[in-house]
Amino acid sequence: MPWRTALRAALLCACLTAVAPARAHAGTTATLNAAFAPERLGRRSTLDFGFSFSAPAGQVPPPLTQIELRYPNNLGIALSGLGLATCTAAILEASGPSACPSDAVMGHGQALTGIVLGSTIITESAPITVLRAPDEEGRIELLFYSEGTTPVNTRIVFPGLLLPASAPFGGLVSIGVPLVPTLPGAPYISVIHLRATLGPIGVTYYEQVGSRTLAYQPRGILLPNRCPSGGFPFAAEFRFLDDSVADAGTAVPCPHPHKRPGASHG
């Protein structure tokens, strides 16, 4: 692929010259996006969320170390039928998601990462798989698996723990993001953008019925019958290696009520 060739060339060029550390990170800002697909109250849905970091020109954000993503109250994540099986970090690190039960997969995504080498920003896009892990100290645990190939060939697994959160949130996912080394003397990888889904889109489970194995799509996150005032709130706090913190929030607007045939205005 052309972009991969360009990345390799840029990486080679950067290595032949000098490996300079990333410059100081001042003013990293975060944006958070969330959506439901479909967004229909009382129906099953897939949560689509993402976040992006902006950094001054020619820089990348500091390496990310911790995410706390708060999600709305009364979201039927635990009733979604997702994560009926579990997978462990050891299996993922050794063999990747293909070695895990299909019924452990809860979602998919994509991460855009980058490092500054010399004066060049090298970016890399890596797929993400979200899986259910065995409970950790009585808490529901998720595992995020990401595998990048070019320019940095790496495979990382990081945990996300579901914790209670105060209103108007129903809970939070606390995600510890590991530092990913690149080249000797070069900075750790920085996350620039991440987008992921939690729900049945792109997920297939298998059920044993008698002697047959049937494929099915898990039900998905059940939305409440009523939309909270102001929409479904999401908030995130991001912590970086340089001890800086960025906050972001968003709300999924309430869907427009479906007009009944013959309904009059006013």
Which residues lie near other proteins (CB under 8 A)?
42, 73-79, 81, 83-86, 132, 134-135, 138-140, 162-164, 170-171, 222-226
CA-wise closest residue to 79 among 18, 7, 170, 206 = 170
Backbone angles phi, psi at 5, to 5 degrees: -60, -45
Nearest residue (CB) to other proteins, 83 versus 109: 83
Report the nearest approach of other proteins to the CB of residue 259 (Å): 22
Report the nearest approach of other proteins to the CB of residue 44 (Å): 10
Nearest residue (CB) to other proteins, 80 versus 113: 80
Nearest residue (CB) to other proteins, 192 versus 221: 221
Instruction: Say what the alpha-carbon torsion angle 221, 223, 228, 233 is, to the nearest 10 degrees.
Output: 20
Nearest residue (CB) to other proteins, 10 versus 41: 41
Report the nearest approach of other proteins to the CB of residue 240 (Å): 26
Report the nearest approach of other proteins to the CB of residue 250 (Å): 19
Report the nearest approach of other proteins to the CB of residue 222 (Å): 6
Nearest residue (CB) to other proteins, 164 versus 257: 164
For residues 3 and 123, is the Cβ–Cβ distance under 8 A? Answer: no
Q: How far apart are CA 160 and CA 113, in angstroms?
A: 19
Report the nearest approach of other proteins to the CB of residue 142 (Å): 11
Q: How far apart are CA 200 and CA 216, in angstroms?
A: 10
Report the nearest approach of other proteins to the CB of residue 2 (Å): 43
Nearest residue (CB) to other proteins, 76 versus 118: 76
Distance set, CA 94 to CA 9, 98, 184, 223 (Å): 30, 11, 24, 36
Nearest residue (CB) to other proteins, 180 versus 222: 222
For residues 102 and 245, is the Cβ–Cβ distance under 8 A? Answer: no
